Amino acid sequence: MSQRGNGGIEDVRPPGSPAADVARTDSVTEPRTRLGRLVPDAPASEWAMRMVLRRIADHDGHGAFVLRWLLWLGLATTYGFAHAPWWAWVCLLPGMVQGPFEVATKVARDAGRPIRNPLLRWASRTADNSAGRFLMNGTGAVGVAAVPLQVFATAWLVPPGEPSWARPVGLALALLYLNSAISSPMNDSPYFNPRNLGGSWVIGRLARRVAGPGLSLLVMAVCLPAPWPGIPLPVMALIMCLPIAITIRTRQTDVLVRAAGDTVEEECLASRQRFHDSLHGELTGAIKSTSRLILSHDPPVTSELRELGLVLPLMLSGTSEMIDEREWVARSGRASMRESVQALSARNFVKTQYSEDAEALDATNKHVALLVLANLIPNAAAAQRARRRRPTAATPPISVRISTSRYGIVEVAVGDSAPPVPDEFWCAAGTSLEGLRQRLRHLDGDLVQVRDGSQKEIVATWRHAQGGMP
């Protein structure tokens, strides 16, 4: 189970970010192993991970939990027919607890209210902490005990005898329970997280590919030597091959996620192209006419307005580079962050005091940094201009700071001399800051406002997305 401002804040997004927020299919990577080339692994991208998290939280419902509970009831029924001893029934206790525990945890999480029950609150917290990072959570820990105990007890603790069908049917139900319990983590969001490619995840991904056949062989080694009177051994061997369905399901999931990602990427590219063509068709004439009027105006206009007349056509023509997000991210990755900050500052007619104490950011992290700066720099510039006593007065500089910590946290901070954003407008619903904060929290980060007297600094943090970072 993986459950898993003032009122004038500008809604500013970096080039290409609308589609990027909906479907980021870039940075799709596969572990570079010989086995990985033979058997494709789970497609790892921000978009794939978000899709899997959404499936688990909003669309899977209680189906898997109810299925495991029904399988457990069927297994308990076969124990009754086989007259199982009390010590075999003890082995069924974790399975008896897991299904209701999973259902109760999801019901409590979906209620949208603070969870008062300490056990359910702990299970919910472990689900939040494990989403996209770990395969184990509170309810899954119960399954770790339930699955092997049920398989072992059915094969060795339930006595053979009449009816002869009870133990084989019980073993099949126990293995179907195993399939359900193991398939959940095998198709969970951590395997689709692009940050989970190195370290122990290399072993985990290899284990995922051979989980079905490997578990079948393990079940045969443990259960086939047990007595199965009246049942041919080939039939029992076939029953013990049921875990192969785990690999079949993971392969199907990977194919569906990969196909969905490719389809969404194509649709995003087509929609970007349509938007670009419409934008140019409607604005090119008006912007060029406005630019000519500004440049030829007599008497001459202010220097700021004249600069705007020069910049507007360049900004419009530059939008063609934003159609293909992968290419745009790759190009933005080749530019330094200082150059990117200077470009954003020039577009917003504000001076910046830039400082950097960061390791080289790859294209993915620079994309996040540009998303942050493209929201915060225009807001800071607007706040500074609003404080000018004379329209012609120079806009005070703003501070831009980028750093990474040895714990793999990236920090981007933008400060200005304007008063802090009032609490009622900070990250208010529908603003760009709200969307930015949600994006950062998805990356194990946050967006906070640090007050310093009458000034403020807005700080964005997230966990470095590069696989080699701790």
- pLDDT averaged per 10 residues in sequence order, the chain, 470 residues: 35 35 40 48 85 85 90 97 96 94 90 88 88 87 94 95 93 97 92 86 90 96 94 94 95 92 89 88 86 83 72 74 71 71 80 76 77 88 75 74 82 87 82 84 86 80 57
Range(s) of the domain holding residue 187: 17-264
Sheet holding 455-463, edge to edge: 352-357, 398-404, 409-416, 455-463, 446-452
CA atoms of 431 and 182, how far apart (whole Å): 41
What contacts 425, CB < 8 A, 6 or more positions away?
5, 6, 7, 9, 431
* Residue-level pLDDT at 21: 36
Q: What is the CATH number of the domain that holds 457?
A: 3.30.565.10
Residue 326 lies in a domain: no
Residue 312 lies in a domain: no
The number of beta carbons lying within 10 Å of the beta carbon of residue 66 is: 13
Last-in-domain residue among 203, 234, 264: 264
| 157 plus 65 within the same structural domain | yes
Last-in-domain residue among 240, 264, 288: 264
Residue 290 lies in a domain: no
| 106 plus 237 within the same structural domain | yes
| 344 plus 259 within the same structural domain | no
| 345 plus 257 within the same structural domain | no
Count of domains forming the chain: 2
Residue 63 lies in a domain: yes
Residue 139 lies in a domain: yes
Amino acid present at 148:
P
Angle at 33 between CA 30 and CA 35, to 5 degrees: 100
* Residue-level pLDDT at 429: 81
| 259 plus 341 within the same structural domain | no
| 235 plus 122 within the same structural domain | yes
CA atoms of 304 and 293, how far apart (whole Å): 14
| 249 plus 387 within the same structural domain | no
| 252 plus 362 within the same structural domain | no
What contacts 235, CB < 8 A, 6 or more positions away?
168
Buried b (16+ CB within 10 A) or exposed e, 103-127: bbbbebbeeeeebeeeebbebbebb
* Residue-level pLDDT at 419: 82
* Residue-level pLDDT at 22: 34
What contacts 245, CB < 8 A, 6 or more positions away?
179, 183, 212
Tokens 């509970």 belong to which residue?
69
* Residue-level pLDDT at 333: 59
CA atoms of 375 and 83, how far apart (whole Å): 68
| 53 plus 188 within the same structural domain | yes
Nearest to 124 by CA among 104, 109, 102: 109
Last-in-domain residue among 249, 264, 279: 264
Residue 323 lies in a domain: no
Residue 169 lies in a domain: yes
Residue 2 lies in a domain: no
pTM: 0.65
| 343 plus 260 within the same structural domain | no
- Burial class for 451, CB neighbours closer than 10 Å (0-12, 13-18, 19+): exposed
